[in-house]
Chains A and B, each alone.
Chain A
Amino acid sequence: MNLELTPEQESFRRAVCALLCEESVREEVARARRLPADQEPGLLEVYRRLAERGWLAINWPAEHGGLGSSVVEKAILTEQMIVHGIPDVVHTLSVDIVGLAIQRLGTEAQKRRWLPRIAAGEGAGCVLLTEPEIGSDLGGLSTRAEPDGDGWRLHGRKVYSLKSQFADLALCAARTTESEVRFHGITVFIVPMRAPGVRVEPLWSMSDERFNQVVLSGIRLTAEDVLGEVDDGWQVLHDLLGIERTGIEFEAKARRLLDAVLDETERTGSVEGSEYGELLVELDAEVWAGQLLAWHALGDMLDGDLDDVRCGMAKWHTTETAKRISELGPEICGLTALLSARDAEAAPGWLLESAFRDAPGLTLASGTSEVMLSLIASAGLGLLG
C-alpha cells in the first residue's frame, strides 16, 4: 500500500491547484454560482485554460487532445476541480462519460469528429438514457431507431437529462431490434444535438441545474453514428455506467462538503464545543473510507480490470456519505446554512444549501443505491439467487 502520490503526480496536483486558484478563475466561479435561478453554467473559460495545457482530458491520447496520462492524473484533476468549487457537471459528462466512451469504444472517424472539441473545452456532451416510464429498468426502453434506407430514424423521449441544453452531442440508447431477450436489440447512438428533430425542453427541479426533456423526432442516423455494435448497446451501457461509478467525483464532493461543514461550525462557534463533534469525527472517517474505496476501484481501471462489485461499493459508499453530509449539514451548522447563495447573509461559499437540494440525486443517478446493493449482494455475495 502507498497512500502518497508520486513526485510527478504531486507536481501535477500543485500545478492544477495553482491554476484553479488564479483570480480570474475564482471570479468566474463566483459569477457562475450567482446566476439567476433559471440559469446555470455551461462550458467555462477555466475548462479551456485546462485544455490548453492538455489537462482537461489528460488521460486521452495526444492525438485526441490529451497527454496520454493515466486515470490517476485524471482523478487528481477531478478531485482538485471539485475541491476548488469548479462547476463540474458539464466537464464530467463531456469528458469523463461521453468523451471517454467514444475514446474507448468509438471508431477512428468518431474520435476525430468529436474528441478534439471536447478535449479543447469547446464541445459538451450529455447522456440520454432515462425515459418517463424507464429508470433503472433500461432494458424496457421505448425510444426506437426505425430502419430508413442505410440508416435509421430516431423517435422517442428522454427525461431527467442534465446539460442537454448546452450539448453538442449525446449518447442515446434506442431499440433497433425487437427481442424477447430484453437486453438484446439496444443500440447506443452518438446523436448530434444541433440536428433538426432534436428538441430540448426544461424540466425544472429543486436543484441549481435543471433536468431536461429531449424529444427526438425522426433524426436521421447512420452506421457512422453507432457507438459499438448495433443491437449490442447493452455492453456499451454496462461499460458507460462502470465508468461513472468509480466514485472519485463523489468522494471529492463528500470531502468538500464536510470541510464546508467544519469551516462553518468553526465560524459560528467551535467544533470541539459543538454537540455534533462526535458525529463530525464519524463522518470524517466515512469520507476517508470512501476515498479509499474510490481509489481502489480506480486502481482496477488502471489495470484494465474494472470490477463491477468494487465499483458498485465505491459508488454506493461515496454517494450515501455525500448525501448524509448534505442532509445533516444544515442541522449541524444552523439555519444560516439553509440560506441560498442569493441571500446577503448566506454562509460563506453558499455550498451547503445548494448541496442539500442536490443531495437526493446522488443516490439516484448512475444507478440507484438499491441497484448498487443488489449488485453487491448478488455478484459480490452470491445472494438473491
Chain B
Amino acid sequence: MEIRLSAAQLAVQARFAPLFDDEELTSSIRRMGEQPRAGTPAEIEQLRQLVWGALTDLGATRLLLPERHGGEAAGQQGAVALAELLGGVLYQGPLLDTMTATEAVLADGTNGKLLERIGEGAPVALAVRESGSDTPAVPGPVELVGGQLTARRRFVNYAADAEYLCLIGTGQGQPICAVTAREHPTVSLRRQQDTGRGEWYDVALDRTPVLAAPAGFGAAWPRVLAAARLRQSAYLVGMCQAALALAVRRATTRRQFGQPIGRFQALAFPLAAAATRIEGACWLVRATAWEADQGIDIRLRAAQALAMAADLSRTTMSATMQVHGAYGMTEGADSQLFYRRAAVERSWLGSPRALRAEVVPLLVQRRSDSVIGRR
C-alpha cells in the first residue's frame, strides 16, 4: 500500500499552485466573492474575470473533458487536486459547478459543441436545489415539454456569471438534466442574501428552450453527484487547511500573559486535533479520487468524505474563530470569511447526517475487498 500523491495529482498541483502563491492575490481572491458592505464592485468584477481567465487558460475547464472534446481526461485525481487548492484560497466562482455540469452533459456522450464551449471557458451554473431542505440525490420536479423547461431553483451559485444553466430535476420519475442559456428572456434571476454574502440566486425558468438534455441521465446522476461531492470535499479540506494556518499564525503571534497564546494547551490541543483530522480527511479524499479513476463506485466514499469534511469544517472554523478572539469577527479578519463561507459550502450538496443516512445501504451491501485490502 502506498499513500502518496499520484502523478496526476502532482501534475495538477504543480500547474495551478503558482497561481495562488502570491499572498496579496490570495487575500483578494478570498474577498472577491463577498458582497461588500460598501465598496467598488467594478474592481471585484475585474478580479473575478481575471481569475476565471487564468484558471481557464491553465485548462481548469478541460480537466474532466475527454480528449475527443478537447480535454485532458485528468480524472477526479486532477480535479480534487485543483479543488483543494481552490478551497485554500477561498475561491468563489462557477468552476466546481462547471465541472459537475461537464460530467452531467457527458452522460450520453453527445453535445460535443456544448462541451467544447465549456472547455473553452464558458461558465455553467448548477441548479439542483429546489428548497433549502431537499436533497440533491432526489432533485425537485421540473416540467420539460416540447424542448422547453419550466422550473424554479434556489441557491444557484454564480448564476449571473454563467453562460449556461445546468438544471437537475426529476421528470417522469427519473433524474433529468437540462442545459439552457442563462441569458434568455424566459430566465429570471433574483440574488439571495445569505450569511456568506456570496452569490446565490433564485432562478426561475418559464418554458425556456433547452440546448441539451443528455439521454439516460437518470442512471448517471448518482455517479455524477458522487463526483461532485468528492470535489466539494476537497474544496472543504482546502478551506480547513487554510483556516488552520491562519489559526496557527495567530496563536504564534498573539501574546497574552507574557507569551504567545499557542503555548497554552487549551488553545494548542484543539488545533492539533484539527490538524490531524484534516490530514486524515485529505488523504481519504485523494484516495477516493484515485478509486474513482480506477472505475470503482465511489458513492459511499464520496458521501463519507463530504460528511467528514463538512463536520471538520465546522469544528475547524469554530476553533479558528476562538483563537482569533474578537478580532476574528471583524471585517478585516480573514477568519470570519472562512467561518461564514464554510457554513454555506458544507451543506450545499447535502447535510452530513443526510449524507450518511443516504449511504447506509451501500455500507451494508458492501462486501469484498477494496483494492488496498479488506477494511
**B-contacting residues of A (Cβ < 8 Å)?**
37-38, 130, 133-137, 140, 159-160, 203-207, 211, 268-269, 275-276, 279, 323, 327-328, 330-340, 342-346, 353, 356-357, 360-361, 363-365, 368-370, 373-374
B327: chain A residues at CB < 8 Å are 160
Whole-angstrom distance between the Cβ of A301 and the nearest chain B Cβ: 27
A159-B326, A334-B132, A334-B351 given. 6 additional CB < 8 A pairs? Answer: A137-B256, A323-B318, A338-B343, A356-B195, A360-B321, A368-B325
Contact in complex: B330, A331 (CB < 8 Å): no
Q: Which residues of B contact A160 (CB under 8 A)?
A: 326-327
Query: What is the count of residue pairs linking A and B with beta-carbon distances less than 8 angstroms?
Result: 139
Candidates A275, A339, A369, A374; contact of B354 at CB < 8 Å: A275
Rounded to whole angstroms, the CA-CA distance of A1 and B233 in the bound complex is 50
Alpha-carbon distance A207/B328, docked complex (angstroms): 11
A137-B257, A276-B353 given as contacts; is B195 within 8 A of A340 (CB)? yes
Min distance, Cβ B62 to any Cβ of chain A, angstroms: 31
Query: Which A residue sits closest to B343, measured CB to CB?
Result: A330
Contact across chains for B329 and A205 when beta carbons are under 8 A apart: yes
Interfacial chain A residues near B28, Cβ < 8 Å: none
Q: How far is the CA of A125 from the CA of B142 in the complex (A)?
A: 56
Give Cα distance in the complex from A173 to B49, angstroms. Answer: 50
Q: Given A136-B256, A353-B195, A335–B132 Cβ distance below 8 Å?
A: yes
Task: Report B286 CB to chain A, min CB distance, Å.
Answer: 25
What CA separation (Å) do A338 and B339 show in the bound complex? 13
Q: Which one of A133, A328, A335, A364 lies within 8 Å of B326 (CB-CB)? A: A364
| CB proximity of A373 to chain B, nearest CB, Å | 6
Q: B: which residues have CB within 8 A of A?
A: 37-38, 129, 131-134, 154-155, 190, 192-196, 202, 255-257, 264, 266-267, 310, 314, 318, 321-322, 325-331, 336, 339-340, 343-344, 346-348, 351-354, 356-357
B133 to chain A, nearest CB (A): 3
Q: Chain B's nearest CB lies how many Å from the CB of A277?
A: 9
Are the C-beta atoms of B322 and A360 separated by less than 8 Å? Answer: yes
Task: Tell me if A205 and B331 are in contact (CB < 8 A).
Answer: yes
CA A206 to CA B324, docked complex, whole Å: 14
Chain B: CB-nearest residue to A332: B351
Partner of A331, one of B190, B194, B314, B318: B314
Give which listed residue, B132, B134, B264, B310, contacts A370 with CB less than 8 A.
B264
- The answer to whether A360 touches B344 (Cβ under 8 A) is no
Contact A336 B266 (CB under 8 A): no
Contact A335 B348 (CB under 8 A): yes
Q: Contacting A334 at CB < 8 Å: which of B133, B322, B340?
A: B133
Which one, B196, B321, B328, B329, contacts A338 given CB within 8 A?
Answer: B196
Give the CA-CA distance A330 to B313 in the complex, in Å. 14
Are the C-beta atoms of B347 and A206 separated by less than 8 Å?
A: no
Question: What's the nearest-Cβ distance from chain B to residue A158, in Å?
Answer: 12
> Does the CB pair B155–A335 fall under 8 Å?
yes
With contacts A135-B256, A205-B336, A343-B192 known, is A336 near B329, CB below 8 A? no
Contacts of B192 in A (CB 8 A): 339, 343, 345
- The 10 A-B residue pairs whose C-beta atoms are closest, nearest first, are A336-B132, A334-B133, A334-B132, A335-B132, A275-B353, A360-B321, A160-B326, A343-B193, A370-B266, A137-B256
Interface pair A204/B37, CB less than 8 Å apart: yes
Contacts of A330 in B (CB 8 A): 195, 343, 347
Point out the residue from A205, A279, A340, A374 that lies within 8 Å of B330, measured CB to CB: A205
| CB-CB under 8 A for A331 and B325, given A136-B257, A205-B331 | no
A340 touches B347 (CB 8 A): no
Determine the distance from Cα of A356 to Cα of B197 in the docked complex, in whole angstroms.
13
B316 to chain A, nearest CB (A): 12
Docked complex Cα distance between A203 and B37 (Å): 13
What's the minimum C-beta distance from B339 to chain A, rounded to whole angstroms? 7
Q: How far is the CA of A130 from the CA of B339 in the complex (A)?
A: 23
Chain B positions within 8 Å of A345 at CB level = 154, 192, 202
Check A130 against B331 for contact (C-beta < 8 Å).
no
Name the B residues within 8 Å of A334 (CB-CB): 131-134, 347, 351
Name the contact of B266 in the complex, choosing from A205, A335, A343, A374 (C-beta under 8 A).
Answer: A374
Structural contact, A331 and B266, CB atoms closer than 8 A: no
Complex alpha-carbon distance, A100 and B264, angstroms: 34
Residues of B near A130 (CB, < 8 A) are 326
CB distance from A240 to the nearest CB of B (A): 18
CB distance from B111 to the nearest CB of A (A): 30
Known: A204-B331, A205-B330, A276-B353. A364 touches B322 (CB 8 A): yes
**Cβ-closest chain B residue relative to A38:** B37
In angstroms, Cα B353 to Cα A332, docked, is: 9
Within the assembled complex, what's the spacing in Å between the Cα atoms of A162 and B352?
Answer: 35
- When C-beta atoms are compared, the residue in chain B nearest to A330 turns out to be B343
**Known interface pairs A331-B346, A373-B266; A268-B193 also in contact (CB < 8 Å):** no
Q: How far is the CB of B114 from chain A (nearest CB, A)?
A: 28
Q: Report yes or no: A357 in contact with B195, Cβ–Cβ below 8 A.
A: yes
| CB neighbours of A340 from chain B (8 A) | 193-195
Complex alpha-carbon distance, A360 and B323, angstroms: 10
Output the least CB separation between A212 and chain B (Å): 11
State the Cβ distance, B303 to closest chain A Cβ, in Å.
13
Residues on B with C-beta less than 8 A from A342 are 193
Chain A residues near B194 (CB, 8 Å)?
Answer: 338-340, 343, 353
* Inter-chain contact B322/A268, CB cutoff 8 Å: no
- With A137-B256, A360-B339 known as contacts, the answer to whether A37 contacts B195 (CB < 8 A) is no
A353 CA to B353 CA in the complex, in Å?
20
Closest A residue to B35 by beta carbon equals A37
- Whether the pair A327, B314 counts as a contact (CB closer than 8 A) is yes
Residue of A nearest to B335 (CB): A360
Q: CB < 8 Å: which of A323, A336, A338, A369 contacts B131?
A: A336
Distance (whole angstroms) from the CB of B258 to the closest CB of chain A: 8
CB distance from A319 to the nearest CB of B (A): 11
Tell me, in angstroms, the Cα distance from A77 to B196 when the chains sit together: 34
Contacts known (A340-B193, A340-B195); A360 close to B352, Cβ less than 8 A: no
CA distance A246 to B267 in the complex (A): 24
Contact for B329 among A133, A135, A206, CB less than 8 A? A206
Q: Which residues of B contact A134 (CB under 8 A)?
A: 256
Distance A334 CA – B330 CA, assembled complex (angstroms): 26
Give the complex CA separation of A373 and B269 in angstroms: 14
- CB-nearest residue of chain B to A352: B195
CA distance A41 to B190 in the complex (A): 29
Q: Which of A37, A205, A335, A369 has the most CB of B within 10 A?
A: A335
A373 to B267, CA, bound (A): 11
User: Once the chains are docked, how many angstroms separate the CA of A152 from the CA of B352?
Assistant: 58
Asked if B133 and A268 sit within 8 Å, CB to CB, the answer is yes
A357 to B202 Cα, complex, angstroms: 23
